[in-house]
Structure 1
Amino acid sequence: MTKVTVKDLVDQFDFKIVSGDEYLDREIITSDISRPGLEITGYFNYYPSERVQLFGRAEFTYLSKMTSDERLLIMRRLARDDTPLFIFSRGQEPEYEVLQAAAENHIPVLSSTTTTTRLSSNLTEFLHSLLAERISKHGVFIDVYGLGILITGHSGVGKSETALELVKGGHRLVADDRVDFYQRDDTTIMGEAPEILRNVMEVRGLGIIDVMTLYGAGAVRKEQQLNLIIDLRELKKDSTFDRLGTAEERERILDVDIPKIAIPVQTGRNISSIIEVAAINFRAKSMGFDAAKMFDERLTRLINNNTN
């Protein structure tokens, strides 16, 4: 898990530092955002003080109606040792007592012109992408027709060479050799390259190449959702593969089951073209058109007709 500080938020978003610019190194440990509406009314039985504290119009208006002493008392109760920062949305300027309580506990105060709901969503997504549990998988991750495809297989089977052919065909590289995955929500796995491997590829005989330099910014992307795993396997005498495409294989990544296809590798087979077809076929299935199912229904009807 990456260490995230308030400065990372300031660098990512267009925040105004109202006070506490010397405290931007405070660590944020959770992607959850708190809107302390109940706490402002005096209810502190459950106060998630370790979260980013976001003040929207409702919280700001309630605070502004308090007396100076009441406001200072509440803000001192909100400003805990583990509270990372206070953020005010919609360009609202916090009262002096907010700044005083924050300064006493070395808490930075930021302001944003963004609406509260949008700001909360943006913060949650950004923090979750950095703080979520990550796993690394060996393979090549590439965007083919908008689908994130992880190409796996034994070393030397031709993963990088296949990915290079796909990049030359207009598709986009996300990561080569090692891919870091994290779970964005209950059904979505996102993948990206480690910083040291971003935009580069290893091709046997050539070594390391910079894909963005050779093919332009349109040939790479920083991250992509994982939709499909394609496992390249050497074709042997005793190898068995699904001939109709009716057998569904899945691989569990974190808490999500990802569809998986095994493709035999043999001299003369254009694997990059097969992967393009696999991507198109996968998209067609997700839209309700399943060629294998249709063929099976035709075969069943033919058998029934011949029997009768």
Structure 2
Amino acid sequence: MKTLTVENLVKQFSLKVLTGVHNLQQPITQPRSHRPGLEFVGHFDFFPTERVQILGRKEINYLHKLSIDERQMRIGNIVKYHPPCFIVTARPEGLTYLTQYCIEENIPLLCTNEPETTSEFMMKLDSYMVKALAEEIAVHGVCVNVYGMGILIRGKSGVGKSETAHTLIGKGHRLVADDIVVLKKLSPRTILGTHDEKTKEFLSLRSIGLLNVVRLYGRKAFQDETRIALDIELKKWEKNSLNNELEHEQTFTDYMGVKVPHVEIQLQPGRDVAGLIEAAANNWLLKQQGYSAAEEFMKRLESEFN
């Protein structure tokens, strides 16, 4: 299982460390944070103790309305569960008991520096933790963003994946990763494609060499990550293997239990592979909107005979 540490959060969000400076290697295994609202009033049946605990203005204001003894008891009841850390997004002044308990239990108590709402911070924090803790694999291929859709282009070495990506970039689309594509499972239905940092912005073309697409074509030629919508496999032309069916039966490729629609494109001199990929992307988008060209064509034929 992948893990983060409290120190990763401190560095990522420039958090101020109030207590627990020697325990920043505390592991974080859950990708969602939690605001202990019900827990402050005594309901602990479903308290997610493994999550990062966030205290915002609502929680702080509630605690300040309590008597000193009651405030001490409420805070103590939560601290004893030893969550990975507490992050305060409001001014922590006056929470002496929280600081005291965190010191005694060696729990990191952190505070945001940027003036933002608790919900805004939690959105950024959860997004970061989901990606950092996501199950991931690396596949050989190219990842591009075409019309806002992530497309994974696969095929045997030398089949023309990078050259096709270069043509797509020339048409205004974006490179995400070349050669090694890192796939992250964000949910049971979502696969994110990204690079492995070493190959970021680079595209390798046979006979040309290594290109930095940002330096050559500008920032718009590159995108850091994208949700994978299509898995396209480039294959050498096989005689008599293609047919002219109105609509092919949809097939899928399984990545970490997530099924991604699969399209096979056979190569032959003169075929506009980049154009076919654009067509596949647009056709997929229309299908998501409930439109089928084959169904419309059949309806037209039926109307002719009726």
Partner of 2:26: 26
Which amino acid is the alignment partner of residue 52 of structure 2? V
Structure 1 residue 242, shift from structure 2 partner: 5.6
Moved more, 176-185 or 265-274: 176-185
Is contact 2:82–2:107 with CA below 8 Å preserved after alignment?
no
Moved more, 126-135 or 53-62: 53-62
SS at match of 1:259: strand
The answer to whether residue 159 in structure 2 is matched with residue 151 in structure 1 is no
Which of 265, 276, 287 does residue 285 from structure 1 map onto?
287
Structure 1 residue 9, shift from structure 2 partner: 2.3
Partner of 1:96: 96
Q: How do residues 1-308 of structure 1 correspond to structure 2 at under 5 angstroms?
A: 2-13=2-13, 15-80=15-80, 82-93=82-93, 95-112=95-112, 113-241=115-243, 243-302=245-304, 304-305=305-306
Cα distance in structure 2, aligned partners of 1:193 and 1:242: 36
SS at match of 1:59: helix
Is contact 2:19–2:106 with CA below 8 Å preserved after alignment?
no
Cα distance in structure 2, aligned partners of 1:149 and 1:94: 52
Which amino acid is the alignment partner of residue 162 of structure 1? T
Deviations 1:163-209 (A, max 9, x none): 11111222111111222222323432211111222222222233433
Is contact 1:35–1:54 with CA below 8 Å preserved after alignment?
yes
Structure 1 residue 158, shift from structure 2 partner: 0.8
Is contact 2:54–2:86 with CA below 8 Å preserved after alignment?
yes
Structure 1 residue 271, shift from structure 2 partner: 0.8
Structure 1 residue 225, shift from structure 2 partner: 0.7
Cα distance in structure 2, aligned partners of 1:28 and 1:52: 8
What is the percentage of aligned positions where both structures have the same residue?
Answer: 38
Is contact 2:60–2:90 with CA below 8 Å preserved after alignment?
no
Change (3 A) 1:99 1:243: same
Q: TM-score, normalised by structure 2?
A: 0.87
SS at match of 2:198: helix
Cα distance in structure 2, aligned partners of 1:226 and 1:107: 39
Cα distance in structure 1, aligned partners of 2:190 and 2:281: 18
Is contact 1:138–1:179 with CA below 8 Å preserved after alignment?
yes
List alignment gaps of at least 5 residues for structure 1. none
Which amino acid is the alignment partner of residue 276 of structure 2? I
Aligned positions, number: 304
Cα distance in structure 1, aligned partners of 2:117 and 2:94: 16
Cα distance in structure 2, aligned partners of 1:231 and 1:44: 51
Cα distance in structure 2, aligned partners of 1:186 and 1:3: 20
SS at match of 1:197: coil
SS at match of 1:278: helix
Is contact 1:84–1:107 with CA below 8 Å preserved after alignment?
yes
SS at match of 2:106: coil
Cα distance in structure 2, aligned partners of 1:122 and 1:227: 24
Moved more, 266-275 or 13-22: 13-22
Cα distance in structure 1, aligned partners of 2:77 and 2:197: 40
Is contact 2:143–2:178 with CA below 8 Å preserved after alignment?
yes
Cα distance in structure 2, aligned partners of 1:270 and 1:58: 58
Is contact 1:91–1:114 with CA below 8 Å preserved after alignment?
no
Which amino acid is the alignment partner of residue 34 of structure 1? H
Cα distance in structure 2, aligned partners of 1:52 and 1:163: 41
SS at match of 2:49: coil
Structure 1 residue 298, shift from structure 2 partner: 2.3
Change (3 A) 1:55 1:34: same
Structure 1 residue 60, shift from structure 2 partner: 1.9
Q: TM-score, normalised by structure 1?
A: 0.87
Deviations 1:103-127 (A, max 9, x none): 2222222234432333333222211
